[in-house]
Each structure stands twice: as structure tokens, then as C-alpha cells.
A and B are shown apart, each in its own frame.
Chain A
Amino acid sequence: MDEMTMLRALGAELDPEVPEPSPLRARVLAGLPSGPGGGDTDTAVPAAVSASVSPLRRVRGSPRRLRLGVAAALTAVLAGGLVAGGVIGFGDRPPAAEAAAAQILHRAAAAAARAPALRARPDQFLYFDRVVKAGWFADRNLPPQQYRSQSWLSVDGRHTGLFRDPWPPPPARPDGVRDTPFPGCAYPGAVVTMSPQPPGIVDRCTPMPAYRSDLPTDAGAMLQYLNTPIPNEGGGTHDPFVRAFDLLTGSYLPPRQQSAAFDAVAMMPGVHADSGATDYLGRPAIGIGRTVRFGGSGDSQRVRQELLFDPKTYACIGDRLVALEDGARGRAGTVINASALRQLAVVDRAGQLP
């Protein structure tokens, strides 16, 4: 037995009776400051952050973006798939259509400003119940998916939310739904991840509030906000319409912010009205959107991306993406993606139904 072996044997003899004295932890932790150590806890969420996509933008591949529904999926495609082709407004509608769009958007802005605000505490969740059609998998050789998408998004972005939908698409669990937690960012700069289960800590985060009372309430300021590219945003093309689209479909804007957003979209060039639309539930709707080229260089297709408004109340009730010409995602007129909002409510816990 050499001296090291003997030393190790002696060490083993000297081992403590308990692996860790029970009062030690409390003693040490009592010495640590509770809560955030830094003074930046209350730092406002950076303005240039899109509620629906940004939390995921560091994650490779687009499937995770899909968790947020069609809005985010669209953004993923527009930000990623369209890098080669770019987003191009064709201006193929007469100026009258733009004027009509602006008029409808101003009505929507007025209606939004009159609507009662949802009241929510920071620790509550916004519940979105949607019916979704996602056909953009065409380029992945997958059929269009349609499903119910329920999501609970943290009001202040610091609490762990939840997605409940039949994801991923078949063959995985075509019969049921999955619950996927969406970790909150407890403190700015803290690090979180979507997985593994339970949510661990692998990445820096910024709280992504679903209740966007932090946004500008003035149309000009809102337009400037929407025009500002998101730092580190994936893809190469910043599209203010997509930003507005994401905000309006992936989060909740209180009346003044929502009103400002509609007025801001009205100022964007190339936005047209389509009065004969229907939403994914078959409800009549007015489509407000613009024409873009969708897809990569090989199979790009002219499509129209629209926000859908109730023709009576001018409330935003959904969105859709329609093919304007035959292509990889369907013949002209095909609704490639759509989502219809069935319910928006405030609940106390992720997973709780209103």
C-alpha cells in the first residue's frame, strides 16, 4: 500500500457522519441576498422585441417557433425562408384599395380604443384559444395540419406558460394533445430553456410579456417601433407588417396600444383591403394585408398575408395566408395558413380554463 492509498484510507476514516449537516444549507442561503442581486430587475423589456418570436430566436430550426402558432410560423418562414427572395410588396392593387385599407384600419383603431381593456395582474396568464391551419409544411412534404391551439402566455413574461396542442404533427400522437411548458424569464438576464423537462437553465433570457402595455400608444411612435429591426433577429429581412402581425396575433395589446398599432399599419405602404374574406371558422371577414413572395428562390409563390377583421365590430379575429398563384403550397386561392381566435381571456394559472 503506497502512501497515497494509505492517505485515502485515512481520509475515509475521517469522513463526516452525515454528508451535509442539515443546518448548513439554511445558514449559507441566509447569507445570500434573496431575490435579484443586481439592480436591473425592473429593467423595462427592450422595446425592439417581438413577443411571439423573440424568446425562441436563439433556438435552431423553426419547429419551436411553431409552438406560438401560425403567426410565429409565418414569421419564421418570412424571416428564414424568404431570405433569398426577400419580402416584396407588389403594389398590384389600385390606390383605392390602400385607401380602403387605411379607412378600415382607422375604424379598427377607433373600435379598439373604445373596447374595454382586459385586466390582468403580472402573475396571471393570457389564454388564447385558436383553431389553426398550418399548411406551410408543403415544402416539407407534409400535409396541411389543422388543430386547436391553446396557449397560456405569462402577462409579464416572467412566469412559465404553456402550449397545448397536438404537436408535433402526425405521426406523433394524432389523437391527443401535448403540453409544452414555455419557461418564464424570472429575472432579466437569467438563463432559461424550453427543455429538458422540467425547464432547465441554458440560455439568457429577456422577459417576454404577453400583455404589451409597454408599447407606444401613439401611432407615429408605434410605427417607428415597428420599423425598428429587432437586434439579433434571425433572417435578414425586417418587415414592419410582420412585426405588427406578430404582436397582434401573438400577444395582447391593451386598447391604446392596439389602436396605435392599427393606425400604424394604415401608414404602411402596400397594405390593401380584401372585403370578401372569411376566417378559418367561416366567419365573414375583411382581410387587411399585402402581397409578398413566399418561399425560396426555387418554389416561391405569390401570396397574400392578411389580418382578418370582423366587418361589424372591426375587431381583429384572425389571420390567414392565401396563395395568389399556383405553386408548391397550393393552387391560387388556397388558404395556406390560417388561425381563428375563439377566445381570449385572463386566467390565474397556466393550463387553467376560463
Chain B
Amino acid sequence: MLSVVPEEATEVSDAELVRASLVDGERFAAVYDRHVRRLYRYACRRLGADTAEDAVADAFLVAFGARTRYDLTRPDAGPWLFGILSKEISRRQRTELIRYRALRRTGQDRPVDGPEQRVADGVTAAAQRGRLARALADLAPGDRDVLLLVAWGDLSYQEVADALDIPIGTVRSRLNRARRTVRAALGGDDPTRDTDDSA
């Protein structure tokens, strides 16, 4: 049976869109459409909605300007965009730290250890949120990027390595260090504290 569909006709990769955008800048809109939600969500978690919007907009404009240097052998532009966004977020570190401080306060406003030890899950979460926020604020920026790209950006270790342009071994060591810090901040409340870091 003859088919009119060529075998190569598969979904278009980001790399192909980036390549197309070299000639037709508007093609880059497709790259935007594919990734904006994930990037915006990530930025929003770290910066809050208003600043996240700025960071994402700037990240895409930076990415557009840098598209001639995009490695066209990488079909998924996600890590590349997350790397650019990470830089935009670091430029707004003051905003990020203020945000964590606010979260910490919010957490401390809640009763942490009720005398009756009847601590509802939500209350526990609120308490832990404050401690988490403090830990995040205390992390070294590079460690924070790695930890949050994994936890909030849902990137794999390899993708984090690609995004931040660091060896995957560095990703692991930074992540271990960040997790230890966060675990320590959570104190004895964490029953899984001895869990293997490499999980």
C-alpha cells in the first residue's frame, strides 16, 4: 500500500524549530509556546508571579539572541532554556530571598508543636514550609539552582548538567549538599533523613 506520509515525518524537535528561527525569527514563537508554561511555573515558584513574568520574558529574549549558539544536536531545548532562566533568576536573587523570608514568616505564624501533639498535616506542612523556606534562602546559589531544578523544574540530573553547563558529578554533589542542608533545617521531623542521597 502506497503511503503519502514520509517516514521522516515525525514531531518537530526544538532543534529544528530553533534552526528554522535562524531564518524566520517568528518561528521562535513555537519554542516559546512549547516551554513557557513550564518555565513560568518554575520561575513563579522561585520569584512570585510578577517577577517571574519579567524573568521569563527576559529569558526568552536572551534565548532568542543566543539561538545561533544553540546546539542543534539537542532536540529538546528545555535544559537550555532553564539554564538561561536560571541566570535571569539569579539576577533577581534579592526578590527570591525576600520571598523565602516571607514564606518563613508565614510558616512561623502557625503553631508548630501543639502541646497536645495533635498536629494536623496541614499545620505540619505550614511549619515545614517555613523551615524549608529558610533552608532555601540559606543555600549557596549554585546548590539552590540544582536542588530546585530537580525538585521544582522536574529536570533530570543530566538535564540540570546541561542547563547549568556543569558536569553531572557536580550536579550530584551539589544536590547531596543541598539536600543535607534542607534535611538539617527540617530537623528531627524527617523520618527519612538517612535515605540514600543518590535516590
Q: Do A and B bind each other?
A: yes
Which A residues are closer than 8 A to B by beta carbons? Answer: 1-4, 6-11, 13-17, 19-21, 23-25, 27-29, 31-38, 40-41, 59-61, 63-64, 67, 167-169, 172, 180, 186-191, 193-196, 200-203
A6 to B25, CA, bound (A): 41
Annotate B1-23 by CB proximity to A: 1 below 8 A, 0 otherwise.
11111111111100011011111
A282 to B45, CA, bound (A): 75
Q: Is B179 an interface residue (CB 8 A)?
A: yes
Asked if A29 contacts B19 (CB within 8 A), the reply is no
Q: A32-B25, A37-B25, A64-B6 are in contact. Are A2 and B192 (CB under 8 A)?
A: yes
Residue of B at shortest CB range from A24? Answer: B53
Q: Is B105 an interface residue (CB 8 A)?
A: no
A7 to B27, CA, bound (A): 36
Residue of A at shortest CB range from B17? Answer: A201
Asked if B64 contacts A194 (CB within 8 A), the reply is no
Q: Is B125 an interface residue (CB 8 A)?
A: yes
A41 to B121, CA, bound (A): 61
A27 to B45, CA, bound (A): 21
Q: Which residues of B contact A35 (CB under 8 A)?
A: 24-26
Q: Beyond the given A28-B60, A60-B7, A196-B9, please list 16 additional residue pairs across the A-B interface where CB-CB is below 8 A.
A: A3-B183, A7-B152, A14-B103, A19-B41, A27-B57, A28-B56, A29-B32, A31-B60, A32-B26, A32-B29, A168-B1, A188-B23, A189-B22, A189-B23, A194-B4, A194-B5
Chain B contributes a number of interface residues (CB within 8 A of A) equal to 61
Interface class of chain A by DSSP: loop
CB contact between B6 and one of A4, A13, A31, A193 (< 8 Å): that residue: A193
Q: Which residues of A contact B36 (CB under 8 A)?
A: 20, 24-25, 28
A24 to B21, CA, bound (A): 19
A254 to B24, CA, bound (A): 30
Q: Is B182 an interface residue (CB 8 A)?
A: yes
Asked if A190 contacts B6 (CB within 8 A), the reply is no
Q: Which residues of B contact A59 (CB under 8 A)?
A: 6, 8
Q: Which residues of B contact A3 (CB under 8 A)?
A: 132, 179, 182-183, 186, 190, 192
Residue of B at shortest CB range from A142? Answer: B2
A25 to B39, CA, bound (A): 13
Asked if A1 contacts B25 (CB within 8 A), the reply is no
Q: A34-B25, A189-B22, A189-B23 are in contact. Are A24 and B40 (CB under 8 A)?
A: yes
Q: Which residues of B contact A32 (CB under 8 A)?
A: 25-26, 28-29, 61, 64
Asked if B183 contacts A24 (CB within 8 A), the reply is no
Q: Is B151 an interface residue (CB 8 A)?
A: yes
Asked if A6 contacts B24 (CB within 8 A), the reply is no
Q: Which residues of B contact A8 (CB under 8 A)?
A: 151-152
Q: Is B166 an interface residue (CB 8 A)?
A: no
Q: Which residues of A contact B3 (CB under 8 A)?
A: 63, 168
A-B contact pairs, 21 of them (CB 8 A): A2-B195, A6-B128, A16-B44, A20-B37, A21-B40, A24-B40, A25-B29, A28-B56, A36-B24, A36-B25, A59-B8, A60-B7, A63-B2, A63-B4, A187-B24, A188-B23, A191-B20, A196-B9, A200-B12, A202-B9, A202-B12
